[in-house]
Amino acid sequence: MRDQDWAIRVENLGKLYRLGTQDRAEENLVSAIVGALKSPLRNYRKYRSTYDFRDVEALGDDAIDAGDSGAFWALKDISFEVKQGEALGLIGSNGAGKSTLLKVLSRITPPTRGRAEIQGRLNSLLEVGTGFHPELTGRENVFLNGTILGMRRKEVEKKFDAIVDFSGVERFLDTPVKRYSSGMRVRLAFAVAAHLEPEVLIVDEVLAVGDAEFQRKCLDKMQEGGKSGQTVIFVSHSMPAISRLCDRVLLLKNGRVEMDGPTHDVVSAYLTNERPNSAQKQWPDRATAPGGEVARLCAVRLMSEDGAVSETFDIRRPVGVEIHYEVLKGGCSLMPTFSLWNDEGINICVAVDQDKQWRGRPRPPGHYVSTGWIPGNLLAEGVFSVNVTLWTMAPVRRVEFHETDVVAFQTLDTLDGDSARGDFQGNLPGLIRPMLRWTTATDTVRAANG
Partner 1 sequence: MAREILEIPIIRIEPPKRWEALNLEELKNYRDLFFFLVWRDIKALYAQTVLGFAWAIINPLVQLVIFTIIFGKVAKIETDGIPYTLFTAVAIIPWTYMSGAMTSSAQSLVAGQNMLGKIYFPRLIFPITPVLAKLVDFSISLILLIGILIFYGVTPTLNLLLLPVFLLMMIAVPMTVGMWLSSLAIRFRDVRFAMGFAISMLMYSAPIVYSASAIPDEYRLIYAFNPIVGVIEGYRAVLLGSDIPWNYIVPGICVNVLLLVSGAIYFRRMERVIVDVI
Nearer to partner 1, 200 or 386 (CB): 200
Nearer to partner 1, 115 or 329 (CB): 115
Residue 104 lies near partner 1 (rule: CB under 8 A): yes
In the range 368-397, which residues lie near partner 1 by CB under 8 A?
none
Tally of CA atoms within 13 A in the half-sphere of 434 that contains its CB = 6
Nearer to partner 1, 132 or 313 (CB): 132
CB under 8 A: which stretch of 120-128, 267-275, 286-294, 440-448 binds partner 1? 120-128
Q: Which residues contact 427 (CB under 8 A, 6 or more apart)?
A: none
> Which residue of 77, 127, 197, 413 would you call a contact of partner 1, by CB under 8 A?
127
CB under 8 A: which stretch of 151-159, 250-258, 276-284, 393-401 binds partner 1? 151-159
Nearer to partner 1, 12 or 223 (CB): 12
Alpha-carbon torsion 378, 380, 386, 392, what sign? negative
> Which residue of 85, 131, 345, 382 would you call a contact of partner 1, by CB under 8 A?
131
Q: Distances in Å between the alpha carbon of 400 and those of 186, 191, 357, 362? A: 40, 45, 20, 15
- Using left for φ > 0, alpha for ψ between -120 and 50, and beta otherwise, residue 291 falls in left
For helices 182-194 and 138-148, give the axis angle rounded to 10 degrees.
40
Give CA–CA dist 157/146, Å, rounded.
10
Residue 78 lies near partner 1 (rule: CB under 8 A): no
Q: Which residues contact 156 (CB under 8 A, 6 or more apart)?
A: 142, 143, 146, 147, 163
Of 93, 96, 91, 381, residue with least CA distance to 239 = 91
CB under 8 A: which stretch of 87-95, 131-139, 380-388, 397-405 binds partner 1? 131-139
CB under 8 A: which stretch of 106-114, 259-267, 303-311, 316-324 binds partner 1? 106-114
Of 162, 234, 229, 147, residue with least CA distance to 195 = 162
Q: Which long-range contacts (CB under 8 A, 24 or more apart) does 244-250 make?
A: 244/219, 245/87, 245/89, 245/219, 246/87, 246/88, 246/89, 247/86, 247/87, 247/88, 248/86, 248/87, 248/88, 248/89, 249/88, 249/89, 249/90, 249/91, 250/80, 250/88, 250/89, 250/90, 250/91
Residue 6 lies near partner 1 (rule: CB under 8 A): no
Residue 111 lies near partner 1 (rule: CB under 8 A): yes
Residue 161 CB burial class (10 angstroms; 0-12, 13-18, ≥19): exposed
Residue 264 lies near partner 1 (rule: CB under 8 A): no
Of 82, 69, 78, 186, residue with least CA distance to 127 = 186
In the range 152-171, which residues lie near partner 1 by CB under 8 A?
152-153
In the range 39-68, which residues lie near partner 1 by CB under 8 A?
43, 47, 50-51
CB under 8 A: which stretch of 90-98, 101-109, 275-283, 298-306 binds partner 1? 101-109
Residue 85 lies near partner 1 (rule: CB under 8 A): no
Nearer to partner 1, 116 or 294 (CB): 116
> Which residue of 72, 77, 130, 410 would you call a contact of partner 1, by CB under 8 A?
130
Nearer to partner 1, 111 or 291 (CB): 111
Residue 179 lies near partner 1 (rule: CB under 8 A): no
Residue 256 lies near partner 1 (rule: CB under 8 A): no
CB under 8 A: which stretch of 89-97, 111-119, 162-170, 273-281 binds partner 1? 111-119
Give CA–CA dist 142/187, Å, rounded.
11
> Which residue of 63, 80, 83, 144 would you call a contact of partner 1, by CB under 8 A?
144
3-state SS assignment for residue 64? helix
Contact residues toward partner 1 (CB under 8 A) are: 1-2, 17, 43, 47, 50-51, 103-122, 124, 126-127, 130-131, 133, 135-136, 140, 143-144, 147-153, 176, 199
